[in-house]
Amino acid sequence: MIELISATEYYAKVTLNGTLARQFYEPGQFFMAPSLYLIEENPLQELKHTYKTATQGYEYKLGRAGRAEFEETREPCYDLNLRSKERAAIVPCKMRPVILISQHAEQWKYGNRQSASCFLVAPVYSFKGNNDKISYPPEFIERTKAYVYNTFFYLPSCINPYFKEGFVRFDRIQAVHKNWLEHMKLKLETDSLECLLSWLWYYLGADLYKTNPLLFDYREAKIKAMGLTK
């Protein structure tokens, strides 16, 4: 909502330093974290293991695993902490900015099972590619700004701290352990965070008019101005 929230009011610096900053986790904060790519191929790549008695160790090789292979009962792999019905999938990932969208998980423990210190994060994609040139068509960028796509949330660029223009992808939300979250001294301001969460709730099936009527009216006006139909 760049016309309603200026870039200077979109973000805020996280001014905490050192150990105190690394203990600070709240929705709207930016972090660097490994973002997993979506597994589209079926079968997928897996790391297969075979225990060799002669060497008393495991031998590994790449293979393919589909639904049938997941149903097979294999020898557990203690080196990888794999049970007989579990597989070691090879999933590409990339370190990229992410936005925290959840609170800290309530801690619990029951027998050998317990909670993990993890958060839901939404990865951030830049409109620019590796060569620092715009890699998306202008109409895509304008539609992202206008909230045409329910999976994308627009992020304007920021000079200080520096941040490239881009968008959040709700269809790539994932859980990340806090050990992998590297703090960036940047967070969304209250109004922009409210818009992000309202848009996320809309993606999850909520009534946008009820959750954020201002965002609803803005989107309606932009879609009409662009001559689009919903």
The 10s digit of each residue's pLDDT in 169-186 is 999 999 999 999 999 989
> What is the rounded average pLDDT of the residues 121-136?
90
Tracing tokens 């972090």 back to the chain, one arrives at 31
- Read off the pLDDT band of 20 (50, 70, 90): low
User: How many other CB atoms are there within 10 angstroms of residue 87's CB atom?
Assistant: 20
Residue 1: pLDDT band with limits 50, 70, 90: very low
Per cent of the chain over pLDDT 70 is 93
Q: What is the mean pLDDT of the chain?
A: 89
Range of lowest pLDDT (14-18, 48-52, 61-65, 198-202): 14-18
- Written as one string, the DSSP assignment of 44-105 is EEEEEEEEETTTTEEEEEEEEE-HHHHHS----BTTTTB-TT---B---EEEEEEEE-SPPP
Give me the pLDDT at residue 163, please.
83
Task: List the single range of 20-24, 46-50, 155-159 with lowest mean pLDDT.
Answer: 20-24
pLDDT digits (tens, 9 = 90+) for 70-107: 888 888 888 888 888 889 999 999 999 999 999 988 88
Residue 112: pLDDT band with limits 50, 70, 90: confident
Does 6 score more than 70 pLDDT?
Answer: no
Share of the chain above pLDDT 90, in %: 60
Residues 6+ positions from 156 with CB-CB distance below 8 Å:
2, 7, 10, 165
Q: State residue 30's pLDDT score.
A: 95
Q: What pLDDT sits at residue 50?
A: 87
Residue in the structure block whose two tokens are 């309530």: 106
Give the pLDDT score at 22: 62
Q: Which domains does the chain have, with CATH numbers?
A: 7-37+95-225 (2.30.30.110), 42-91 (no CATH)
